[in-house]
Amino acid sequence: MTASILQDEKLMELKNTIDEFKDKEGPLMPIMHKAQELYGYLPVEVQEYIAKALDIPLSDIYGVATFYSQFTLKPQGKNTIGVCMGTACYVKGSQAILDEIVREIDLKPGETSDDFNFTLNATRCLGACGLAPVIMINDDVYGRLVPSDIKGIISKYRTK
């Protein structure tokens, strides 16, 4: 295990969470949520740490991590862009919005930029259908978009 990833402070917090949940029923989800929160993704070293602590196969953790979309296996960018591809947004032209973002930041859905500034995701319904088409950047919601809005929005999140 590399010290850089399993930093003491974060590891201590993860260990506390493991100790809190390991004898309860269904301990894996809260522990994995904590790990995702602490590290921003689930490095293999962290998955191995959890597997050893719970005495379960690594494949259990990896299986859960790949099943649920809120877990990620790769480091995420500082800014996560979610483009809603739910039915309402799709009907209102979210594909064109997504295409424009892909052009603007040169990432495909699921990818993270080399400088770790942006991660682009095509998401399921974000629950803001009245504002369709919608994107979210981190916790900011942008609605009723047309492709020409994209350049200006993205520029706010560019590294200076």
Partner 1 sequence: MEMVKLTIDGVQIEVPKGTTVLEAARSAHIHIPTLCYLKGINEIGACRMCLVEVKGARSLQASCVFPVGEGMEIRTNTPAIREARKTNMELILSNHDRKCLTCVRSENCELQTLSTQLGVNDIRYEGEQGNYAVDEVSTSIVRDPNKCILCRRCVSTCREVQGIGAIGATERGFNTIIEPVYSKSLADVNCINCGQCIEACPVGALREKDDTDKVWDAINNPDLHVVVQTAPAVRVALGEEFGMPIGTRVTGKMVAALRRLGFDRIFDTDFTADLTIMEEGTELLGRLKKGENLPLITSCSPGWIKYCEHNYPELLDNLSTCKSPHEMMGAMVKSYYAEKTNQDPANIYVVSIMPCTAKKFESQRPELQATGYPDVDAVLTTRELARMIKQAGINFLKLEDEDFDPILGDSTGAAVIFGATGGVMEAALRTVAEIVTGKPLENLEIHAVRGLEGVKEVEIPLGDITVKAAVAHGTGNAKALMDKVVSGEKEYHFIEIMGCPGGCVTGGGQPIVPAQVQMDVDVRAKRAAAIYDEDRSLPVRKSHENESVKKVYDEYLGEPNSHRAHELLHTHYTPRNKF
Residue ranges that bind partner 1, judged by CB under 8 A: 44, 47-48, 51-52, 56-60, 62-63, 66-68, 73
How far apart (Å, rounded) are the C-alpha atoms in residues 107 and 93?
19
Q: Which is nearer to partner 1, 20 or 110 (CB)?
A: 110
Q: Which is nearer to partner 1, 12 or 73 (CB)?
A: 73
- For residue 69, the minimal CB distance to partner 1 (Å) is 8
Phi, psi for residue 145 in degrees, rounded to 5: -85, 150
Q: Hey, how many other C-beta atoms are within 10 angstroms of the C-beta on 18?
A: 18
**Strand ranges across the sheet with 135-137:** 118-123, 79-84, 135-137, 140-142
- For residue 15, the minimal CB distance to partner 1 (Å) is 18
| CB-based contact 98:90 (threshold 8 Å) | no
Q: Which is nearer to partner 1, 11 or 150 (CB)?
A: 11
- For residue 156, the minimal CB distance to partner 1 (Å) is 33
